[in-house]
Amino acid sequence: MNATCSPRSSAPATSGVTESLRKPRYNVKGTADAYEVRVEMPGVAKDGVKIDLDDNVLTLRGERAASVPEGLKTLHRELSPLSYLLRLRLNTPVNEDQMTAKLDDGVLVLSLPIKEAAKPRQIPVV
């Protein structure tokens, strides 16, 4: 699996606070049957994660909102809105129907089973 990641950049947010676009930290592990991708996205809720697979390119997006509970106002802010973007090119086709994703304590874990047709085969000699 080759990894192609987005560059870091910053863009002004509408609230006057700078919103960042960052490449999250990640690990990729694999066996003959599947890849496992672990991505750190602290502060991102499940509804803030978007995962796409198109033409063997896996794209992960995460949005951390800077919310203030009703009745409170912000006096000091260091935790600004943050967007994560990671693109990984998969060298081996994966079975899209069996992909799973789990977000727990700011760590997204993806299981990407490799398609049967892409697995190496052993041919017996007779």
Instruction: Tell whether the torsion through CA atoms of 96, 98, 103 and 107 is positive or negative.
Output: negative
Burial per residue of 62-71, b for 16 or more beta-carbon CB atoms within 10 angstroms, e otherwise: bbbeeeeeee
* DSSP-assigned states of every residue in 97-113: GG-EEEEETTEEEEEEE
pLDDT value of position 17: 45
Number of other CB atoms surrounding residue 122 within 10 Å: 4
Q: What is the pLDDT of residue 118?
A: 62
Work out the average pLDDT over 106-116: 94
Q: What mean pLDDT do residues 35-48 have?
A: 94
Q: By CB neighbour count within 10 A (0-12 exposed, 13-18 middle, 19+ buried), where does 28 fall?
A: middle
Fold of 2-67+79-116: Immunoglobulin-like (2.60.40)
| CA dist list (Å): 54 to 12, 22, 41 | 29, 21, 22
Q: Which residue has the higher pLDDT, 57 or 77?
A: 57
CA angle at 16 for the pair 14 and 21, rounded to the nearest 5°: 70
Q: With pLDDT > 90 as the criterion, what percentage of the chain qualifies?
A: 52
Q: Predicted confidence band at 119 (pLDDT cuts at 50, 70, 90)? A: low
Rg (CA), the chain: 18
* pTM flag (> 0.85): no
Q: Indicate the pLDDT class of residue 4, thresholds 50, 70 and 90.
A: very low
